[in-house]
Every structure is written in C-alpha cells, then in structure tokens.
Amino acid sequence: MQKSENGGDEATVDVKFTDLPNALIACKVPEDLFTEDGLKASFEALFRSFDPEVQFQYFKSFRRIRISFSDALAAAEARLRLHKTDFNGKEMRLYFAQSVHIGSPRLEPPKPEKQFLISPPASPPVGWEQAHDATPVINYDLLCAISKLGPGEKYELHTATPTTPSVVIHVCDDEHGGDSSAPDDSDLDDKPRPPRPKIIQTRRPDYSPEVRQ
C-alpha cells in the first residue's frame, strides 16, 4: 500500500511473489559451521525468525548452505536484512537460489521421432527407410580423352566464358625427355638407386665466455 506525498488518496499496489525463488544460498560461511552444533544452532536461529518452518541443507565440500523458506516473501526479507552481515567474524553473502524447469520438472524420455539421433541409436521411427548411396558418375569421354594424351599435350575441359575461366589439363613431360628407348620402371628396380643427398647441418658458432661491452 502506497500513500502520495500531497496527502491524497491511498493507492493499493498488488505485488506477486510467485515468480521469485523461495530459497537462499549462503556463501562465505565459517568452516566451523559445518562441524560445531552450537554454531549451527546460532546460524539457523537467524533465519527461523523470518520463517519457523525454514529448512537447511549443508554442502560442506562447496562451503554452501541452502536455506529453503515456505514462501518467497520470507526469503526476500531474510536476504534484505542478513546479506553482508557479520557472522562469527565472517561476512555472510546470501543469494537467491535459481531453479529453471523447461516443461515438466521430471526427466522425460525423448520423443519417438527423435530417438534415432541417439548414439547408439534405438529403433528408428515408423516409416523410416535408409537412403541408398547414389551411383558415382563416371565421365567416360573425359577418361578416353585423357588416355589419348601424350607428354606435353593439353586438353580443354571447359571453354572460357566472359565470366568464368577455362579449365585445361596439361600432361607433364616424360621424365626421360620423351626417349622411348629409356628403360621402364621394371628395369630400374634391378639397378641400385643413387644415394640421397645428405643434409649438412649449420655449424654452431664457438662459445666465448667473455662478454664484451
């Protein structure tokens, strides 16, 4: 309920707390709080003044405490009054615990039409058929033209246009200069191959302990 400054009629403002979280997360609490019962009772008494039915969940490994209230209004009031207050020599930090549920809060199995995407896949949906691979396209004209080419010749695959260049295949020259009397690969296997050239490493400069300025 809100009253105007000029003394006019009072205006009622409806505030809904259904969308606010009803739990707090306490951070930076003393480590002794998780082991000493007396210190734990003093900590819980701070929040029971806002809600007698408040519940506590202690997470020692994370040094966090979840404080669940019966409604969001009590959680907001406790956070407003106790955030950054001193407790046993430590500045206590309180944050709202966010909980997001997409659809149902329970874990539901995937829809049947989505199960074939799971690895390893389950049974495919009704009516699903495996697609067959397309037959590879073989350009026999291109293979025939390439087989007739000799060393040094070329074959134009695509004629140039005003917007695209031409595509030309060039056949490399023969390694032996086109000499038909040169021995083939079978003759070269019987002869010893020439040794590979040795890579000479760069010599490191001589080390001098003297440092000249």
Among candidate residues 64, 96, 128, the one where a domain is terminated? 96
How far apart CA 77 and CA 91 sit, in angstroms, is 18
Whether 144 and 79 share a structural domain: no
Higher pLDDT, 22 or 189: 22
Q: Whose structure tokens read 């690969």? A: 185
Number of domains in the chain: 2
Both tokens assigned to 57: 């969940």
Residues 92 and 27 in one domain: yes
How does strand 23-27 pair with strand 55-59?
A: unpaired
Residues 82 and 145 grouped into a single domain: no
pTM, to two decimals: 0.40
Give the tens place of pLDDT for each residue, 89-141. Answer: 888 899 998 765 556 667 777 676 666 666 666 677 778 888 888 887 888 88
| Residue 113 forms part of a structural domain | no
User: Is it the case that residue 42 has pLDDT exceeding 70?
Assistant: yes
**Residue numbers of the domain that contains 146:** 140-170
Strand ranges, E, within the chain? 2-3, 10-11, 23-27, 55-59, 64-68, 85-87, 90-96, 154-158, 167-170
**Listed residues 61, 96, 131: the one ending a domain:** 96
Of 67, 96, 125, the domain-final residue: 96
Query: Can you tell me the distance from the alpha carbon of 18 to that of 97, in angstroms, rounded to the nearest whole number?
Result: 14
Answer yes or no: is 206 within a domain: no
pLDDT tens digit sequence for 151-200: 777 777 778 888 888 888 777 765 554 444 444 555 555 667 777 777 77
CATH code for position 74:
3.30.70.330
CA distances from 194 to 176, 182, 191, 198, 200 (A): 16, 17, 9, 12, 18
